[in-house]
A and B are shown apart, each in its own frame.
Chain A
Amino acid sequence: MKKLGKRHLGEALVRVLMLLSVLIVLLVVVSILGIILLRGIKSLTPEMIPWPALLGSLYIVIPASVIGACISVPVMFYITMYKKRSDTFPYLARLAYDVLYGTPGIVYGAFAFTLMVYVGMRASVMGGILVTVLLIIPIMIRSGDEIARNVPDEMIEAAYSLGATPWETLKVILRQILPGMTTAFLLAIGRAIGEAAAVMFTAGFSDTMAVRLSDPAATLPMAVFNWITMPDPFPDKAYAAAFVLTVLVLLLSLCGRWVSRRFTQNNL
């Protein structure tokens, strides 16, 4: 009986600890969102919308996502279709992009900057796109790989055994992983759009709208970074930019969730 009481105590303790952790996490999320939303909404009058930064971010992230997807999708297909029982090559590939995945944005920034200096390129939209492509590829591949790994061998075999070519088989697999892949890519875009360190010296910063690929461009995270420590009214502008950025990222991640819910219903 005594022993049982002790076990109950342990149980209760662990439960309280878990609850506490959840509360801490919730508190952090709510306060971040709360402050950004409250201060952001207050500051976000039509003339305070940081158009150059918003458009600059989109100029950089949209092409970078497209290029990134063009490179990551074939890699994922390769891993799915040509995975061998022996694990050496996939192991090395996974190790490589795990390292890249964990590499901080600032390191990407420094690397891309070195490249740009080497070819004589200035901080520009082009530079921003370049570094964002580098940054987004491992994120896309890593999350895509998780999805591709869940494709059952039986499905590949089923298509093959009906006499399908590898390409036809791939199209079948694609139907299976498309929703998951879309979600993964939307989340990757969400992460890339919020990356400040990488674009700090590659895209630069500017108060005017970037028109050409060689113009330096403002981005939302850089706008926050630059304005938050400046005298009034700049902090308000920074909060407005943070608000726009948060809403963008939230939208992307909600979209991702919606896609995966809506379409996996049909698949699973």
Chain B
Amino acid sequence: MNEMQAPLSVRDLSVAIGGNPILRQVNLTFPRNRITCIIGPSGCGKSTLLKTLNRMHYNVEGLQVSGSVLLGTHDVIRANDQELLELRRNIGLVPQKPCPLPMSIFDNVAYGCRIHGMYRKKELPDVVEKYLTEVGLWDEVKDRLGSPAVRLSLGQQQRLCLARTLAVEPEYILADESTSALDPLSSKTVEDLFIKLKKDYSIIMVTHTLHQARRIADYAVFLYLGEVIEEGPAADLFNTPREELTRNYLTGTFS
């Protein structure tokens, strides 16, 4: 999928669950090699939007989706099973709560590579080292790669999840409030990692904390009741919002 140099974009996306509209006619383009933060009050559809980007709403009954999510020429919404696997590999997810797979630290990072048959067995140790180094975890775990990943601290687990996601070489990384379960220090570490990683990856992040969005966003999207109220470069959106609703949200008139 090397032709996919075009950014991930969403066209006329509407999502409803059991007849209740969650997202209405969303049109967005997520710039490459930038951190895009999606902000908005609870229940505005942020997480649904993120989940729709890699079609992760497998267990939602009564879901209706219309419109398209395009990565290059591929539409995530209409992809068949085979294409979907490849698209999901390309659009990685870092969950809200760190969730290591029930296996060793090494196997967690190697898992995705193994299922996709990306490397030969001999190459795997180098790959694992590379991605653990990239998330700054290598020195902390290099002597216990074989021990279960759940023994790591939460902050370490979240970085492991990130390494696991990076190891399948995605173009986009979706982060669903990925620092909200972490202590301030670990949260800062993960934030810094995102800033470092945007050189090679494009990051789309849902966040509840405006401070965090202000700190790391290059591009920002404000969602309200399932609609995109305003989007644009983060500096503009945060400093000189065009819409009244955005201004009110940013000043804390409602949340």
CA distance A171 to B176 in the complex (A): 25
Contact indicator B61/A85 (Cβ below 8 Å): yes
| A contact residues, range | 20 to 34
Of B96, B103, B111, which one neighbours A162 at CB under 8 angstroms?
A: B111
A31 within 8 A of B: no
A164 within 8 A of B: yes
CB distance from B76 to the nearest CB of A (A): 12
B97 within 8 A of A: yes
B4 within 8 A of A: no
B32 within 8 A of A: no
Q: Tell me the nearest residue of chain B to A175, going by C-beta.
A: B102
CB distance from A231 to the nearest CB of B (A): 58
A86 within 8 A of B: yes
Contact indicator B59/A84 (Cβ below 8 Å): yes
Contact indicator A84/B61 (Cβ below 8 Å): yes
Which of A84, A154, A168 gathers the greatest number of chain B CB atoms within 10 Å?
A154
Contact indicator B88/A161 (Cβ below 8 Å): yes
B6 within 8 A of A: no
Q: Tell me the nearest residue of chain A to B92, going by C-beta.
A: A161
Contacts of B88 in A (CB 8 A): 160-163
A98 within 8 A of B: no
CB distance from B52 to the nearest CB of A (A): 13
User: Given A162-B92, A163-B89, does the pair A267, B59 have CB atoms closer than 8 Å?
Assistant: no
SS class, residues of chain B in contact with chain A: mixed
Number of A-B contacts (CB under 8 A): 81
User: Given A84-B61, A164-B115, A168-B115, does the pair A159, B101 have CB atoms closer than 8 Å?
Assistant: yes
A246 within 8 A of B: no
CA distance A175 to B244 in the complex (A): 51
A-facing residues in B119-166 (Cβ within 8 Å): 148, 150, 161, 164-165
B116 within 8 A of A: yes
A165 within 8 A of B: yes
A-facing residues in B166-180 (Cβ within 8 Å): 168, 174
A7 within 8 A of B: no
Contact indicator B99/A158 (Cβ below 8 Å): yes
Contacts of A152 in B (CB 8 A): 97, 99
Contact indicator B102/A267 (Cβ below 8 Å): yes
Contacts of A164 in B (CB 8 A): 85, 112, 115
B-facing residues in A134-172 (Cβ within 8 Å): 152-165, 168, 172
Q: Tell me the nearest residue of chain A to B94, going by C-beta.
A: A161
Pull 28 A–B residue pairs with CB atoms less than 8 Å apart, ordered by A.
A82-B59, A83-B59, A84-B59, A84-B60, A85-B59, A86-B62, A152-B99, A154-B97, A155-B99, A156-B58, A157-B99, A158-B161, A159-B111, A160-B88, A161-B54, A161-B56, A161-B91, A162-B88, A162-B164, A162-B165, A163-B85, A163-B86, A165-B115, A168-B115, A172-B101, A175-B103, A267-B150, A268-B150
Chain A: residues with CB nearer than 8 A to chain B?
Answer: 82-86, 152-165, 168, 172, 175-176, 266-268
